[in-house]
Amino acid sequence: MSNPVGQAVLWLNDPLNWTNPGGILDRLGEHLGMSAAAVLLGCLVAWPVGLWLGHTGRGGGLVVLVSNVTLAIPTLALLTILPLTFLGFGRPAVVVALAVFAVPPLLANAYTGVRQTDPEARDAARGMGLSGGQVLRRVELPLAVPYLAAGFRTAAVQVVATAALASFVNGGGLGQIIRAGFGLDIAAGGGQIIAGGLLVAGLAMLVELVLALVERLVTPRPLRPARRRANRRAADAVAVAVAGS
Amino acid sequence: MSFRLSYRADPGNPWFSWQYVRDNSDTIVAALRDHASLTARAVLIAALVALPLAVAAHWFRPLAGPILAFTGVLYTIPSLALFAFLAPYLGIGAVTVLSVVVLYALLVIVRNTVAGLSQVPPEVREAAEGMGYGRWGRLLRIELPLALPGILTGLRLATVSTVALVTVGVVVGRGGLGQLIFAGFQNNFYKAEIMTGTLLCVLLALVLDLVLAGLGRAVTPWLRGRAR
């Protein structure tokens, strides 16, 4: 049984590895719990700011700056630094660290979503006597839903993927299984390492698929053709802005 | 400034200390050099693989979907999982780290190069054809130069994210500056060590980005007047 993949299958087939304390089910719960909290926190921060910036049409530079800066910050650094601040050790620090990486896609898509609304629709709403806040709520926000959904999906998949790194600071999650495998000798732990990798990768793919479905469901039918382009356009906007910076 | 701030915060464990930097300059420089060389090699390899892939996707339209989908799936796989898949086969060390970061950099470069190539105006392409350029001549003399801005954007994004990603290499013991960050965390939460590693990481990303931006300006002189 020197084949690591065979060992991984063996490891996954042991029911105790699933149900033990600190087993797969426990870790899965932790992983999903902290990911959900991080995405929620990211949404609470990024969406209002992104929608408002998009509504006023200012702050495009800020959106680009945020995504550039977070791209350069290593996840490991945030995960190790935040527990040493006032947040203290434990779940809150990990959630905040993960939320930081959820912000750029949420922010960029919220901003782009509002910016891309047809100016004629906006003018028509104004002509009907809607105030600025009403235009945002009744016209721009509904039209931005495909973008918000695309940003949510990108952010959630990224957070679920990044949450595996919480294991570096003993923050729990499925990454813990991989780390434990590396803690063993590589010949002995190879199976567990690959099994953990399969679980983490499988979860990320599953989240991606489920959210793609959700994205489709929340997008009103008339907006659906634009749906697939939404994510890419926001990404392009950032990429182009990076090139110009 | 850092002296006073850190003194007030906690005299025993400051966020930054020149004392630490002086006493451990050898370790720090070694980590920085390792990090920079891993990044440079990874981006170089990724570019060498990504450019032919992008050209293939550009020439043979049916290949574009599969190539982009394949690199997209690679990008969805969490970095730690990729390390987990490769480490049992490639062992503990630089080869594993390089393989993982190259796979991630691929997507960014391929996607931006394909975008750059597809933005070449059709009139230009037809004019080149009319002047008797063949497929290769057109690619090398017309399309690739015109796609340079896109390619450089891809290279810059890939470089910056690679610098951040290399730190995850601590899981196989070759994380460059990540090694400092992680050691600081394990070493009774030695804040100065963690902060030094982090700052150097961000600085390295910034410097490499600026170098590539300067390089981009140098090789696309025709864009200079139009940039702003």
Q: Which domains does chain A have, with CATH numbers?
A: 4-244 (1.10.3720.10)
Q: Classify A90 as helix, strand or coil.
A: coil
The per-residue pLDDT for A240 is: 42
Q: Is residue B50 part of a domain?
A: yes
> What's the confidence (pLDDT) of residue A243?
40
Residues of B in contact with A81 (CB under 8 A): 194-195, 198
User: What DSSP designation does B223 have?
Assistant: G
CA distance A87 to A100: 14
**b/e per residue, A183-194, with b = 16+ CB within 10 A?**
eeeeeebbbbbb
Which pLDDT band, with edges at 50, 70 and 90, does A227 fall under?
very low
- Tell me if B87 and A182 make a contact (CB, 8 A cut-off): yes
Count CB neighbours of A12 within 10 A.
18
Taking contacts as CB-CB distances below 8 angstroms, the residues of chain B near A160 are 78
Q: Which of A77, A201, A240 sits opposite B201 (nearest CB)?
A: A77
Compute the average pLDDT of residues A96-103: 92
Are B108 and B154 within 8 A, CB to CB? yes
How many domains is chain B built from? 1
Q: Is residue B6 part of a domain?
A: no
Kindly state whether residue B121 falls inside one of the protein's structural domains: yes
Judge: B194–A205 Cβ closer than 8 Å, yes or no.
no
pLDDT (0 to 100) of residue A37: 93
Q: Which DSSP state fits B176?
A: T
Residue B106 lies in a domain: yes
Give the pLDDT of residue A12.
Answer: 79
Of A71, A80, A167, the CB nearest to B185: A80
Residues of A in contact with B209 (CB under 8 A): 72
Contact B81 A200 (CB under 8 A): yes
Please give the helix or strand (H or E) that residue A109 lies within, else none.
helix A91-115
> What's the rounded Cα separation, in Å, for the pair A102 and B81?
19
Residue B5 lies in a domain: no
Q: Is residue B8 part of a domain?
A: no
Contacts of A167 in chain B (CB under 8 A): 80
Task: Name which of B199, B166, B22 is nearest B98 in CA terms.
Answer: B166
Per-residue pLDDT, averaged over A81-92, amounts to 83
Rounded to whole angstroms, the Cα distance separating B192 from B18 reads 9
Which domain range does residue B37 map to?
15-218
Q: What is the 3-state secondary structure (H, E, C) of B29-93?
A: HHHHHHHHHHHHHHHHHHHHHHHHHHHHHHHCHHHHHHHHHHHHHHHHCCHHHHHHHHHHHHCCC
C-beta of residue B97 within 8 angstroms of C-beta of residue B126: no
pTM of the full structure: 0.82
Mutate to test the interface with B, among A31, A76, A82 (most CBs of B within 10 A): A76
Which of chain B's residues have a Cβ under 8 Å away from the Cβ of A71? 157, 160-161, 164, 205
ipTM of the complex: 0.79
- Token look-up 């390899």 returns B45
How much is the CA Rg of chain B, to the nearest whole Å? 21
pLDDT in tens, chain B (228 residues): 445 554 455 557 788 888 888 888 888 899 999 999 999 999 999 999 999 999 998 888 888 888 888 888 888 888 888 888 888 888 788 888 999 999 889 888 998 999 899 888 889 888 988 888 888 888 888 889 889 988 998 999 999 989 989 998 888 888 888 888 888 888 877 888 888 899 999 999 999 999 999 998 888 888 776 654
Percent of chain A at pLDDT above 90?
21
Report DSSP state, residue B133: -
Most confident of A213-222, A234-243, B112-121: B112-121
Choose the mutation target among B13, B68, B80, B157 for the interface with A, i.e. most A CBs under 10 Å.
Answer: B80
In a domain, B9, yes or no: no
Q: Is residue B227 part of a domain?
A: no
Cβ atoms of residues A35 and A163 within 8 Å: yes
Are B153 and A242 within 8 A, CB to CB?
A: yes
Check which CATH number belongs to the domain holding B115 and give it: 1.10.3720.10
For A219, list phi and psi in degrees, rounded to 5: -85, 120
Q: Mean of the pLDDT values across residues A93-119?
A: 90
pLDDT at B187: 81
Residue contact B84–A194, C-beta within 8 A: yes
Average pLDDT of every residue of chain A: 82
Give the span between the Cα atoms of B129 and B144, in whole angstroms: 15
Residue A14 pLDDT > 70, yes or no?
A: yes
